Amino acid sequence: MATREEREELFDTIQKAVDDVVSMVIEGHYTALTQEPQLTSKIAGAIELTLDRMDLGDLNLKIAVRDFPPQGPGALEGKVGADVYISTAVIGEDGSDVSKGMLAQAKWDDTTKDAKLSQQIGKMMGRTESSYVWVFGPHGVNCVPAGGYLTPGPTEKGQSVGSLIANGLRCEEGDRRIGRDLTKPLITSLNEIMQDLGVNTALSFTIREGRRRHRFYRRAKRKR
């Protein structure tokens, strides 16, 4: 079984690698005409290509990205007002599995106060408090809790995408009620939660430990 120090080393490695990838993608598109959902998808894809199947001692990281194409006016985003669903799951050797989810709506830093954002935040918060606004700046993304983003006063302090994901894997962020179903194959569970939430892009991080490293999901117990 992995030690606490080994887990923290992996979390720190994930945070730094994710933030490096995000900065690289953002810097290449900040002055372009790329729209927020498309850039979110590009960020997710770059993270998958860079970090997938990372190993550290007795721990293995699996990353998966799913994209649903737009389906007419409003597409799937209309249900919960989010651009992306983030899944964090830890499958422990001792059976202490944890699956959580988060929602995020992305905006360029010069369009974060539009009227549509208020509606999107309301929809996200109606489903889960683990909702964020991803603010695209010239060198990176600031993830601000959606619940306090539009309140009067200074903008609430956020964190980087890498920090958000690492803290999700630490179980310090995220909502179990919208975690993917670990009794099903990864892609099946992502498809189902995306359809339930109405989100076009999903980014999944799964850490498997020890002998669970080669078991991609926990099969549901048979009913007697």
DSSP 22-82: HHHHHHHHTTS---HHHHHHHHHHHHHHHHTTEEETTEEEEEEEEEPPP-STTTGGGTT--
Closest to 108 measured CA to CA, from 76, 63, 60, 141: 141
Q: Are 99 and 176 in contact (CB under 8 A)?
A: yes
Residue 74 has pLDDT above 50, yes or no: no
- Provide, rounded to the nearest whole percent, the portion of the chain with pLDDT above 90: 65
- For residues 71-100, give the mean pLDDT: 80
Say if CB 163 and CB 54 are below 8 A apart: no
The per-residue pLDDT of the chain, averaged, comes to 87
What are the tens digits of pLDDT across the range 170-216? 999 999 999 999 999 999 999 999 999 999 999 999 999 986 655 55
Residue 34 pLDDT: 83
| HSE (side-chain half, CA atoms, 13 Å) at 218 | 20
| Position 73 confidence tier, pLDDT thresholds 50, 70, 90 | very low
- Portion of the chain with pLDDT greater than 70, in percent: 86
- Please work out, in degrees rounded to the nearest 5, the angle formed at the alpha carbon of residue 149 by the alpha carbons of 147 and 154: 135
Most confidently modeled range among 31-35, 65-69, 102-106: 102-106
**Sorting pLDDT into bands at 50, 70 and 90, what band is 33?**
confident
The pLDDT score that the predictor gives to residue 19 is 97
Report which secondary-structure segment, H or E, holds 15: helix 4-29
* More confident position, 119 or 110: 119
Residue 112 has pLDDT above 80, yes or no: no
- pLDDT above 70 (res 221): no
Strands 59-67 and 201-209: antiparallel
What is the rounded CA–CA span in Å between residue 209 and residue 84?
A: 27
**6: helix, coil or strand?**
helix
Q: Which residue has better confidence, 33 or 55?
A: 55
Name the more confident of 156 and 127: 127
Question: How many C-beta neighbours within 10 Å does residue 12 have?
Answer: 12
